[in-house]
Structure 1
Amino acid sequence: MMNFRNFDDFWAFYMSQHSNPCTRRWHFAGTLSGIIISIYSLLFNWRFFVLAPLVGYGFAWYSHFFVEKNVPATFGHPIWSFYCDFKMFGLILTARLDGEIKRLGKRPVLHSF
């Protein structure tokens, strides 16, 4: 498992693992689906709550295995990865992700966990 000095270092790594725009779209769809399922389960039937992480992570992990062809960051750093999923979701939703990618620029990519 890789160690990071702080969240900013992990964020740069996280974004390097989501370099393909298609991967980011799958993540967005998974996070949005997870949010919708969570809201539905809170309002109507709590039993559906178990589907939220299954669907959310299912979309994301599919994109890593079949689109990006790397290992999901969740496997090594589940809490920071969860936070980054929502940060990326918010940046996509507010059309600021391209600016963030430019801000991060080209950084060394670390591949092992």
Structure 2
Amino acid sequence: MSGYASFREFYPFYLNEHSDRQCRRMHFVGSTLVLVVIATALVTGHAWWLLAAPVVGYGFAWIGHYVFEKNRPATFTHPLYSLMGDWVMYWQILQGKIRL
């Protein structure tokens, strides 16, 4: 993988790495659970819930990559752009621009 000058340049690569629907579904579930964990922490006032956020988020995503997509997550080489890509893809799924 080469370097990317911007997120706009990186995002097509990111989408290509998520071409398998099951992988996208795993990402969607993980991201939704991250939001649930954050909401739970806010509602209960127990910040320790936040420790679960990266576990569920990355756990589901990485299973999607290793089991279904059969590739290595971009998190290891482009962590910030990859995190941004997760949430852009999540929003585009909610908008119906990307199919589950």
Task: Identify the TM-score tier after normalising by the shorter chain.
Answer: over 0.9
Corresponding residue number in structure 2 for 1:4 = 4
Report runs of 4+ in structure 1 exceeding 6 Å deviation.
none
Matched positions, count: 98
TM-score where L is the length of structure 2? 0.92
Q: State the superposition RMSD in angstroms.
A: 1.1
- 2:51 and 2:72 map into 1 onto residues whose CA distance is 23
Structure 1 unaligned regions, length at least 5: 99-113
Identity %: 38
Deviations 1:78-103 (A, max 9, x none): 111111100000000111125xxxxx
DSSP-derived class of the 1:38 partner = helix
TM-score where L is the length of structure 1? 0.82
Corresponding residue number in structure 1 for 2:28 = 28
- 1:96 and 1:52 map into 2 onto residues whose CA distance is 26
- 2:29 and 2:43 map into 1 onto residues whose CA distance is 21
Deviations 1:44-71 (A, max 9, x none): 1211110011101100000101110100
